[in-house]
Amino acid sequence: MRFAFFMFLISTAIGLTSNLQAQHNDIEFGYDDVESPTAFLLSPQGFNGTTSDGLILIRSNMEELDPFTPGDFAADQPGFTTYSAAGLIANPGDAIMINTLDASQHSMFGVGLVNYYNPGADRLEATGRIAFEDKTVATQDLVLNGSAIESGDNPQFIALANSSGSVHDHITWDLLDDDSAPVGAYGLLVQLQSDFSPLDGSMNLSSDPFWIVFNHGMSNDQFEDSALPRFGIQAVPEPSCDVNLDGSVNFLDIAPFIAALTASGYTPSADCNGDGENTFADIAPFIAALSA
């Protein structure tokens, strides 16, 4: 009976995890106060970590988005959305934009506008061409080339807030020169901005800077363990969830995992989120390890 109960909890956790992932593929933002905003806020949901110099970071992947154009690599994640349930909205008609920063001026680790991680040299280099495509005919694409703006306007327009102050939009980051663009990671240090300002025109609102780092052709382990540390993310070994210590994570680990959750002591191999405890918070990472 107890086993069935915990299997129900595990199944429920699967559903919750799927829903959370669906909800938080976007960067959630909004004003601190709609009537008299003084800050442009970012929700921590959706970000993957914080660098050692205090900048939040989200990871993404360059992929062949269009099946009819193989070899054309781009990314359409993350998206950008307000989140009214958390009070994160903008004013109707406000323009939301994304501003690319020279990371050499705003980060201890960055080197330019496009920050390419070279896996052969194990370092960041100011090289690579990326275009911001916002799908708005009236707006020219912003093209970045290493440390320079090749064409277009920075900040780049994303969307207008609708009549309820809501925004949900995606832009496409297109990796140019696909045939010659080397495998590695491409990082952009950006901030969101709004054209809201008081009547005297004294203020524009900007979010804190954050990294978007795109994996292009690297293995996940190499991206996590080699590339992201060059942007300031500390590499942390993930708990294995091999509860019975037989060298693999499979269905044989389910029973000892449930036993660890119900026991009064501490089982390190069942501490799947690495927080030093055996609690329900370990269920989601255990499921992820089990299904990997």
Architecture category of domain 237-291 in CATH: Orthogonal Bundle (1.10)
Q: Is 67 exposed, middle or buried (0-12, 13-18, 19+ CB in 10 A)?
A: exposed
Q: CB-based contacts of 97: which residues, under 8 Å, 6+ apart?
A: 155, 156, 157, 158, 192, 193, 194, 195
Mean pLDDT (whole number) for 257-267: 80
User: What are 194-211's pLDDT values in tens digits?
Assistant: 987 665 555 678 999 999
Whole-number Cα distances in Å, 101 to 21, 50, 98, 112, 174: 28, 18, 10, 8, 18
Nearest partner of 171 among 209, 144, 138, 132, judged by Cα: 132
Say whether pLDDT at 22 is over 50.
no
Predicted confidence at residue 201, as pLDDT, reads 56
Predicted confidence at residue 84, as pLDDT, reads 87
Mean pLDDT (whole number) for 224-248: 83
Q: For residue 227, what pLDDT band results from cuts at 50, 70 and 90?
A: very high
Mean pLDDT over each residue of the chain, to the nearest integer: 85
Own/partner pairs for 264-271, CB < 8 Å, 24+ apart?
A: 267/243, 269/239, 269/240, 269/241, 269/242, 269/243, 269/244, 269/245, 270/241, 270/243, 271/239
Mean pLDDT (whole number) for 65-74: 91
- Bond into 44 cis (ω within 30): no
Say whether pLDDT at 103 is over 90.
yes
Q: For residue 235, what pLDDT band results from cuts at 50, 70 and 90?
A: low
Mean pLDDT (whole number) for 129-143: 83
Q: For residue 49, what pLDDT band results from cuts at 50, 70 and 90?
A: confident
Mean pLDDT (whole number) for 68-78: 92
Say whether pLDDT at 64 is over 90.
yes
User: What are 278-292's pLDDT values in tens digits?
Assistant: 888 889 889 888 887
Percent share of the chain, pLDDT over 90: 51
Report the predicted TM-score, pTM, of the whole model to 2 decimal places.
0.74
What is the 3 state secondary structure string of the chain?
A: CHHHHHHHHHHHHHHHHHHHHHHCCEEEEEECCCCCCCCEEECCCCCCEECCCCCEEEEEECECCCCCCCCCCEECCCEEEEEHHHCECCCCCCEEEEEECCHHHHCCCCCCCCEEEECCCCEEEECCEEEEECCCCCCCCEEEECCEEEECCCCEEEEECCCCCCCEECCEEEECCCCCCCCEEEEEEEEEEECCCCCCCCCCEECCCEEEEEEECCCHHHHHHHHHHHCCCCCCCCCCCCCCCCCCCCHHHHHHHHHHHHCCCCCHHHCCCCCCCCCHHHHHHHHHHHHC
Token pair for residue 28?
A: 């959630």
Q: List the chain domain ranges.
A: 29-230, 237-291
18 or 225: whose pLDDT is higher?
225
Min mean pLDDT across 102-111, 169-178, 210-219, 253-262 is at 253-262
Q: Give how far the C-alpha of residue 203 lies from the chain's centroid of Cα atoms, to the nearest Å.
A: 28
